Amino acid sequence: MLNELFQQDYNPPKLEKEILKFWEEKEIFKKSVEKRKGNERFVFLEGPPTANGSPHPGHVLTRIMKDVILRYYTMNGFYTPRRAGWDTHGLPVEIEVEKELGLRTKQDIEKYGVEKFNERCRESTFRYENEWIEMTKRIGFWIDMDNPYITLDNRYIESVWWSLKKIWEKGLLYKGHKVVPYCPRCGTALSAHEVAQGYKTIKEPSIYVKFKLKEKDAFFLAWTTTPWTLISNVALAVHPEESYVEIEYEGEKLILAEKRLENLFAGKGYKVIRRFKGRDLEYMEYEPIFKFVKPDKKAWYVVCADFVTMEEGTGIVHIAPAFGEEDYEVGKVYDLPIVQLVGKDGKFDERVKPWKGMFVKDADPKIIDYLRESGALAWEEEYLHEYPFCWRCDTPLLYYAMDSWFIAVSKLRENLLRNNENIEWYPSHIKHGRFGDFLREAKDWALSRSRYWGTPLPIWICQKCGETMCIGSIEELKSLSENFPEKIDLHKPFVDNLILKCPKCKGEMKREDYVIDCWYDSGSAFFAQWHYPFENVEEFKNNFPADFICEALDQTRGWFYSLLAVSTLLFDKPPYRKVLTLGLVLDKQGQKMSKSKKNYVDPKVIFDNEGADPLRWYMISANPPWAPIRFYEEAVKETLRRFMLTLWNSFKFYLTYAQLDKFDPRKHSVDVKNRMHLDRWIISKLQNLIGEVRENVEKFELQKASRAIEEFVVKDLSNWYIRRSRKRLWIEEMTQEKASCYSTLHDVFFTLSRLLAPFIPFMSEAMYLAIKTKDMPESVHLLDYPKKEERLIDKDLERAMDISRRIVELGRVLRGKIGIKVRYPLSKAIIVCGNDTKREIENLLELIKEELNVKEIIFSGSREEAMRTIGENNYAEIEGEGIYLVVDKRLTPELFAEGFSREIVRRIQAMRKEMNLSIEDRIETEISVNEKGREAIERWKDYISGETRSKKITFTEEAKGELIKKWKIGDVEVTIGIRKGA
Ligand SMILES: [Zn+2]
Ligand SMILES: [Zn+2]
């Protein structure tokens, strides 16, 4: 089957389907893992995707990269089981179901019924599972999809509960009233790492607002980028240590920080009247702009706070403790009231009469209009800043004071940083940069979500005495519950129905009505996938920490963070040793791909048109793994043409001849040391390549590894070795020369099939299957990765070949300068070089001569001597890296005739091909050409007839035939007509 495939043109989709069938039938993946059982482990942890949407190019990229590394370590003898996982909870799932059902608010969901809603969520989590499995198989990613871990599984949830109880016992799980990032559409608080997923740069109004001092004819000038929060203003904050000024400007007295004066009023004709220390302004009262409710505590005075910045604004900050973390904190210090006039839906409530029911951000322009009309607006500017949006539904987030459950991660900052020190990051700058920065400022993890589809928070509170318990297992739940059912689903609403008996007062305990952040679920994968500690304790120990994880850059503050946080909380150890962070996948224009813009190619199109191997090779070789990569079809096509086809054709060339000659490596193999120079050279290059590939893969420098392979295949193997070796294979009998070449090609391709196996597993397999003999393992993926063999490396020979190739290249350039093509032989070339160089390349002289197409090569010690030898007017020369090449540029009639006849042969061959003639078909040839051309052809008539199987060559005024073509060869015009002869 496969031998036949290699007689055809390269058709990856067709080939790959055959290989997939072969892998499946023979269970090659399973065998490749089992074969290494008992060896040292290479532990991989799969970051679980959500299967409620189709996989996109980013997923394809991560799967390719993971696969390359895992196959590499497997072939290096490591026991590398790979288990798939699915992330199934949380907002990503809920929002899709809401859309489907046309539900817009949480009330809608409640009305629809939580049980039914969650049932729909459960169904939807695997809606695209088949598409995912299909893609995973098609791309060649070997991972066990039959036995995945799933975060909605009762056992998984139980492990998560166990971990939360551990954290509770350490006193690190608590309920607090805090200002948290909040999505008004989803109606839930979000965690800092969720917020980090959704920053966008937007333009918003920023306004300068005047607050009139009480009983004085002056104003505090404050600045804000969230006009809607002015409704809840209760104070103004100044920096106690900074200097403030009162100025007179256009007839008004304004107070602001002195350091901001230049920025805001330069050249505007103001006059400074007075100076104060910020501290002196403390407790000064002002008149409120909005007074929709009467605060329950003293409000509207100046407070001091260190967070007031002199970098922007006026140095006076408006304070609304209901909507800002810092506002809330300073509010606690000064016992400020909290004026909350915004509902959980992000809209003003009925007390804000003019704008009631309006989403706060939409009310901004109206509020600004009001300020302008009432004279409180000093001026307005546009402000470009980073603002967080909900990572799932794209609604602008609000900061909102509310009750939430937190994990006190901020107390573990030191531990997080210490554990991070034991992780190898690729690329390394992320460790102390993007990731380290986030750890240094780690906030308490807002864990609870006021949602439905997720791991329920296992906290029960006694309604009578307030006793609070964190439940850590199903057993524990059972023991405290009087209505525990036969079978339990640990989701809402079932867990909510469980009423526990308070161990203190026998009162009723009810569950806190929250689910948890789904990032906590996936961050627990390293133990929860084993149902640890309830089962598989050994298995967990053997797999912790993971040796390798790999996801896209956007997981830095996502899964990479949640894993480290959970692992630090529970075990105070890093959960992974090496992490490979992949660049983002962009579209052809370099734009970020987005679901809404649909600006990406469906990977399936590429699988069907170009195939998986070319896509893999493109993704691997285009950029370092951590750099962004453009994903588009033409790029894959180009890779296919540039590399894959060259590899295929080279291999096909070898296979065709080897089969024709019945070459059997076991019978005809020639020992490397007895092979020809060219053979030993390519073997030596191959050994270096092995070393280079290994070194780079171990540093995840996959691009460097693949580029090295590509250079070897295209430049060394195809364009030099095979081209130089063709003639040897045309000899009829199996000479030593020929066997030496076959042995070499066999070694090269057998090694390449293994070397390439992690990168392009399909073509490698096909190559291997085509050359393997019965006694060899059934798949290349069951073999060991090649190791560099120092004894086969011949540095002197490599150097000599380098010099020879340089001389050949010099010849090519020189011929371009004098306008004589390589097809025309020259009589003489003189290489001017030192004795050492001469000695080095002496063995390769025959090769250089052929490549230069000269009749004679001589060496000379000096340029002058070389020129004298050829004669003043007849030489042409060129220099490169200390070597001179001098040639006799005279094209004698003899030399011209030889070259010209070759040109004629080449053209007649092309015409034969165009007429689809077979090798045996004879032809008749008519040629119209000038005297010079005719003379040349006459000299080589026998040669031309033989090469082109022309029975007869005639010269006419006007050449006729079944096919007639006109050419200009050099300055000679030729018309050739051929017809199929009898
Ligand atoms: Zn949202
Ligand atoms: Zn109680």
Centre of ligand 1 to C-alpha 95, Å, is 8
Centre of ligand 2 to C-alpha 279, Å, is 49
559 included as an active-site residue: yes
Query: Of 838, 960, 971, 953, which Cα lies nearest the Cα of 896?
Result: 971
First to last CA, the chain: 38
pLDDT per position as a tens digit, 347-383: 999 999 999 999 999 999 999 999 999 999 999 999 8
What pLDDT is attached to residue 596?
Answer: 66
Would you say residue 478 has pLDDT above 60? yes
* Annotated catalytic residue, options 519, 626, 648, 681: 519
pLDDT per position as a tens digit, 380-400: 999 888 899 998 888 999 998
Sorted by sequence, the CB contacts under 8 Å of residue 190 that are 6+ apart come out as 180, 181, 182, 183, 390, 391, 397, 446, 517
Tally the residues of the chain.
982
Write the DSSP symbol of residue 826.
Answer: B
Centre of ligand 1 to C-alpha 92, Å, is 9
| Structure token digits, residue 81 | 């089981």
Q: Cα–Cα distance between 803 and 704 in angstroms, integer?
A: 25
Written in H, E and C, the secondary structure of 723-750 is HHHHHHHHCCCCCHHHHHHHHHHHHHHH
Centre of ligand 1 to C-alpha 89, Å, is 15
Query: Of 819, 796, 866, which Cα lies nearest the Cα of 857?
Result: 866
With bands split at pLDDT 50, 70 and 90, how would you rate the model's confidence at 177? confident
The residue assigned the tokens 């813009």 is: 597
Centre of ligand 2 to C-alpha 469, Å, is 10
What pLDDT is attached to residue 731?
Answer: 79
Task: Pick the ligand that lies closest to the CA of residue 106.
Answer: 1
595 included as an active-site residue: yes
Q: What Å distances lie between residue 580 and 552, 641, 751, CA to CA? A: 8, 29, 27
Cβ count near 274 (within 10 Å): 11
Kindly report the backbone phi and psi dihedral angles of residue 808, in degrees, each rounded to the nearest multiple of 5, phi listed first. -60, -40
* Annotated catalytic residue, options 425, 559, 648, 681: 559
Instruction: Taking each helix axis as running N to C, give the angle between helix 845-852 and helix 795-818, from 0 to 180 degrees, rounded to the nearest 10.
Output: 20
Are residues 304 and 239 in contact, defined by beta-carbon separation less than 8 angstroms?
Answer: yes
Angle at 211 between CA 208 and CA 213, to 5 degrees: 145
Bridge partners, residue 85, by sequence:
149
pLDDT per position as a tens digit, 554-607: 899 899 999 999 999 999 999 999 999 999 999 888 888 776 677 788 899 999
Would you say residue 465 has pLDDT above 90? yes
- DSSP letters, 131-184, are HHHHHHHHHT---EEEEEEETTSHHHHHHHHHHHHHHHHTT-EEEEEEEEEEET
Say which range, 4-13, 116-125, 457-466, 644-653, has the weakest mean pLDDT.
4-13
With bands split at pLDDT 50, 70 and 90, how would you rate the model's confidence at 612? very high
Would you say residue 294 has pLDDT above 60? yes
Q: Cα–Cα distance between 236 and 284 in angstroms, integer?
A: 10
Are residues 400 and 179 in contact, defined by beta-carbon separation less than 8 angstroms?
Answer: yes
Centre of ligand 2 to C-alpha 468, Å, is 8
| Structure token digits, residue 116 | 């039914």
Q: Cα–Cα distance between 656 and 3 in angstroms, integer?
A: 9
Query: Of 548, 607, 571, 606, which Cα lies nearest the Cα of 65?
Result: 548
The residue assigned the tokens 């000096």 is: 862
396 included as an active-site residue: no
Centre of ligand 2 to C-alpha 464, Å, is 5
* Annotated catalytic residue, options 92, 161, 456, 555: 555
Task: Pick the ligand that lies closest to the CA of residue 90.
Answer: 1
* Annotated catalytic residue, options 592, 787, 951, 966: 592
Task: Pick the ligand that lies closest to the CA of residue 95.
Answer: 1
Query: Residue 911, by phi and psi: left (phi above 0), alpha (psi -120 to 50) or beta?
Result: alpha
With bands split at pLDDT 50, 70 and 90, how would you rate the model's confidence at 982? low
What pLDDT is attached to residue 8?
Answer: 77
What pLDDT is attached to residue 2?
Answer: 57
pLDDT per position as a tens digit, 502-548: 999 999 999 999 999 999 999 999 999 999 999 999 999 999 999 99
What pLDDT is attached to residue 426?
Answer: 97
What pLDDT is attached to residue 197?
Answer: 80
Centre of ligand 1 to C-alpha 179, Å, is 17
Centre of ligand 2 to C-alpha 500, Å, is 10
Are residues 826 and 713 in contact, defined by beta-carbon separation less than 8 angstroms?
Answer: no
Centre of ligand 1 to C-alpha 528, Å, is 27
What pLDDT is attached to residue 600?
Answer: 80
Helix, strand or coil for residue 405? strand
Angle at 725 between CA 724 and CA 731, to 5 degrees: 135
Q: Cα–Cα distance between 668 and 736 in angstroms, integer?
A: 9
Would you say residue 170 has pLDDT above 90? yes
Task: Pick the ligand that lies closest to the CA of residue 460.
Answer: 2
Centre of ligand 1 to C-alpha 491, Å, is 21
Centre of ligand 2 to C-alpha 485, Å, is 23
With bands split at pLDDT 50, 70 and 90, how would you rate the model's confidence at 429? very high
pTM: 0.85
Centre of ligand 1 to C-alpha 91, Å, is 8
Task: Pick the ligand that lies closest to the CA of residue 105.
Answer: 1
Instruction: Taking each helix axis as running N to C, give the angle between helix 129-139 and helix 12-26, from 0 to 180 degrees, rounded to the nearest 10.
Output: 100
Q: Cα–Cα distance between 288 and 301 in angstroms, integer?
A: 9
Would you say residue 3 has pLDDT above 80? no
Task: Pick the ligand that lies closest to the CA of residue 465.
Answer: 2
Q: In what order do the strands lie in the sheet with 950-955?
A: 950-955, 923-929, 972-980, 963-969
| Structure token digits, residue 686 | 């191959």
Would you say residue 314 has pLDDT above 90? yes
Centre of ligand 1 to C-alpha 391, Å, is 7
Residue predicted with more confidence, 5 or 233? 233
* Annotated catalytic residue, options 12, 23, 48, 626: 48
Task: Pick the ligand that lies closest to the CA of residue 396.
Answer: 1
Say which range, 211-220, 324-333, 641-650, has the weakest mean pLDDT.
324-333
Query: Residue 34, by phi and psi: left (phi above 0), alpha (psi -120 to 50) or beta?
Result: alpha
Centre of ligand 1 to C-alpha 182, Å, is 8
Q: Cα–Cα distance between 325 and 181 in angstroms, integer?
A: 9
48 included as an active-site residue: yes
Centre of ligand 2 to C-alpha 516, Å, is 24
Element housing 978 (H / E): strand 972-980
Task: Pick the ligand that lies closest to the CA of residue 189.
Answer: 1
Would you say residue 412 has pLDDT above 90? yes
Q: Cα–Cα distance between 337 and 339 in angstroms, integer?
A: 6
Centre of ligand 1 to C-alpha 84, Å, is 28
Cβ count near 20 (within 10 Å): 16
Task: Pick the ligand that lies closest to the CA of residue 500.
Answer: 2
| Structure token digits, residue 684 | 């030596």
Centre of ligand 2 to C-alpha 796, Å, is 86
With bands split at pLDDT 50, 70 and 90, how would you rate the model's confidence at 1? low
Cβ count near 351 (within 10 Å): 11
Sorted by sequence, the CB contacts under 8 Å of residue 251 that are 6+ apart come out as none
Query: Of 346, 517, 513, which Cα lies nearest the Cα of 443?
Result: 517
Cβ count near 941 (within 10 Å): 13
* Annotated catalytic residue, options 87, 364, 517, 888: 87
pLDDT (mean) for 262-276: 91
Are residues 352 and 341 in contact, defined by beta-carbon separation less than 8 angstroms?
Answer: yes
Centre of ligand 2 to C-alpha 161, Å, is 22
Task: Pick the ligand that lies closest to the CA of residue 450.
Answer: 1
Average pLDDT, the chain: 93
